[in-house]
């Protein structure tokens, strides 16, 4: 009898010691059980322009068709805001180049933010911090913040989780996206993962005039070519507009942070908005902001972190002036000496970065 007992004990140790933690399955009939719903994740492929690398994806949040679909629904669903009045999409409208086209964003109840919304185009490649000040390092972390921000969605994640867990459709979608076994597993982390999956798919279509010319399928007009040459300093005759240093191809951003001379300050701590310095607390980071992509810049007015410039002409005039001096003014911000013709050519080139097929891609539109 003792031997029989030992045998079962040994077998029990054997079975439990080598098992996968993922093998646990809820019993059917348990409240919130989702195991009757199939979980068959299908990898989601993202097409990218020829000069882009594959979309970088973190190993703990691989793209799947169901994950991206869930993220898209959450992105457009006002369930994430405290009064169900706003969704992520309110500040990132496809038609506005995935911005809200306001000087500064408005939150629930008309709460006024302090910064202009940033475009999400090619956000998958923003690997040097997100937001204007680089305060988070991943799309997953970024997606967590607006929900509880009092000037954005003003909600509480615990309440959002409750709403999602008790929704008619989301538990099934979370099951298909992440293989959860019970709706109680729906969490803010999984919600952020789904949003990040969708945002990672918003990639340039590669159909702008610039893309066509670079891939040898089109030609710039003389004015656009002049603008290109000034943008990238590729002509010894035309002035160097210094744009490409911070807005380099193919992303048209280097994802770096600069003081581009917008404000006159006595000391670096005097900037109204500290930007990167407010995060790093490094004196020389005060007044620095992330250089945004210029792809589809035509549609993302107004410009700069506080939306102070209504038109691209104003932006060009600012850079042509050399901006305001500060101890951390970027050395590449200098008076450019552009003529009116030069400025018109530069603008013509900037407009070649427009790509409405990106903005109108059905996969990015509101699913409701």
Partner 1 sequence: MKQFLLLIPVCFLLLMTSCGDDTAILPEPEVADVSLTFKTMFGDNELDFNTTVYDYEGMEMTISKFDFFISNVALYKNVEGALDPEQTELFEIDFLDFTQNNNSVTIESLNVPVGEYDGIVFSIGVPSDLNAQQPGDFSVTHPLGITNVGHHWAAWDSYIFSKVEGRLDTSGNQDYVNFSYHPGTDALFSNKIEKGISINLVAGQQKTINFEIDLENIFVSGGALDIEMYPDSHSPDESTGAEHVMDNFPSSISVN
Binding site for partner 1 (CB under 8 A): 3-4, 6-7, 10-11, 13-14, 17-18, 50-53, 56, 125, 127-128, 229, 232-234, 236, 240, 242, 244-246, 248-251, 254-256, 284, 325, 327-334
How many Å is the Cα radius of gyration of the chain?
Answer: 25
Q: Which is nearer to partner 1, 158 or 266 (CB)?
A: 266
Q: Which is nearer to partner 1, 58 or 150 (CB)?
A: 58
Residue 280 CB burial class (10 angstroms; 0-12, 13-18, ≥19)? middle
Integer CA distances (angstroms), 308 to 255, 262, 296, 305, in order: 21, 9, 18, 8
The C-alpha atoms of residue 71 and residue 316 are separated, in whole angstroms, by 37
In angstroms, give the least distance from the CB of 48 to partner 1: 8
In angstroms, give the least distance from the CB of 264 to partner 1: 14
The C-alpha atoms of residue 179 and residue 167 are separated, in whole angstroms, by 17
Q: Which is nearer to partner 1, 31 or 56 (CB)?
A: 56
In angstroms, give the least distance from the CB of 245 to partner 1: 7
Dihedral pair phi/psi, residue 259, rounded to 5°: -95, 110
In angstroms, give the least distance from the CB of 210 to partner 1: 11
Q: Which is nearer to partner 1, 69 or 255 (CB)?
A: 255
Q: Which is nearer to partner 1, 269 or 325 (CB)?
A: 325
Sign, CA torsion 235/240/241/246 = positive
In angstroms, give the least distance from the CB of 309 to partner 1: 23
Both tokens of 37, joined, read 């719903």
In angstroms, give the least distance from the CB of 249 to partner 1: 5
Integer CA distances (angstroms), 138 to 151, 197, 199, 276, 324, in order: 21, 11, 11, 16, 32
Q: Which is nearer to partner 1, 106 or 265 (CB)?
A: 265
Q: Which is nearer to partner 1, 162 or 325 (CB)?
A: 325
Q: Which is nearer to partner 1, 6 or 363 (CB)?
A: 6
In angstroms, give the least distance from the CB of 242 to partner 1: 8
Q: Which is nearer to partner 1, 51 or 169 (CB)?
A: 51
In angstroms, give the least distance from the CB of 295 to partner 1: 13
Q: Is 195 left (phi over 0), alpha (psi -120 to 50) or beta?
A: alpha
In angstroms, give the least distance from the CB of 158 to partner 1: 35
Integer CA distances (angstroms), 290 to 191, 209, 305, in order: 26, 25, 9
In angstroms, give the least distance from the CB of 121 to partner 1: 15
Both tokens of 266, joined, read 């006595």
Both tokens of 182, joined, read 């019970």
Q: Which is nearer to partner 1, 191 or 358 (CB)?
A: 358
């Amino acid at each position: 009898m003792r031997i029989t007992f030992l045998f079962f004990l040994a077998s029990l140790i054997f079975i439990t010691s080598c098992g996968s933690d993922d093998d646990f399955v809820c019993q059917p009939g348990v409240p919130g059980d989702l195991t009757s719903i199939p979980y068959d994740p299908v990898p989601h492929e993202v097409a990218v322009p020829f000069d882009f690398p594959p979309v970088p994806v973190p190993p703990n949040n691989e793209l799947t068709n169901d994950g991206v679909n869930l993220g898209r629904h959450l992105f457009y669903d006002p369930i994430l805001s405290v009064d169900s009045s706003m969704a992520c999409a309110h500040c990132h409208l496809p038609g506005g180049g995935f911005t809200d086209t306001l000087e500064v964003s408005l939150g629930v109840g008309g709460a006024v933010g302090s910064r202009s919304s940033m475009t999400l185009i090619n956000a998958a490649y923003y690997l040097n911090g997100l937001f204007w000040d680089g305060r988070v390092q991943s799309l997953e972390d970024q997606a967590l913040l607006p929900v509880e921000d009092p000037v954005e969605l003003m909600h509480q994640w615990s309440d959002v989780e409750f709403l999602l867990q008790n929704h008619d459709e989301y538990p099934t979608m979370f099951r298909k996206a992440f293989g959860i076994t019970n709706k109680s597993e729906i969490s803010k982390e999984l919600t952020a993962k789904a949003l990040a999956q969708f945002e990672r798919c918003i990639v340039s279509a590669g159909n702008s005039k610039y893309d066509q010319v670079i891939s040898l399928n089109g030609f710039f007009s003389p004015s656009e070519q002049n603008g290109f040459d000034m943008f990238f300093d590729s002509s010894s005759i035309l002035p160097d507009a210094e744009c490409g240093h911070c807005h380099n191809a193919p992303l048209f951003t280097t994802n770096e942070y600069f003081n581009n001379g917008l404000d006159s300050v006595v000391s670096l701590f005097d900037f109204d908005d500290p930007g990167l310095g407010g995060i790093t607390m490094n004196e020389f980071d005060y007044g620095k902001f992330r250089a945004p992509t210029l792809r589809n810049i035509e549609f993302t007015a107004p410009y700069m972190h506080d939306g102070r410039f209504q038109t691209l002409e104003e932006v060009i005039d600012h850079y042509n002036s050399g901006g305001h001096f500060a101890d951390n003014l970027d050395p590449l911000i200098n008076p450019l000496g552009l003529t009116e013709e030069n400025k018109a050519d530069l603008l013509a080139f900037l407009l070649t970065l427009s790509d409405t097929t990106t903005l109108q891609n059905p996969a990015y539109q509101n699913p409701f």
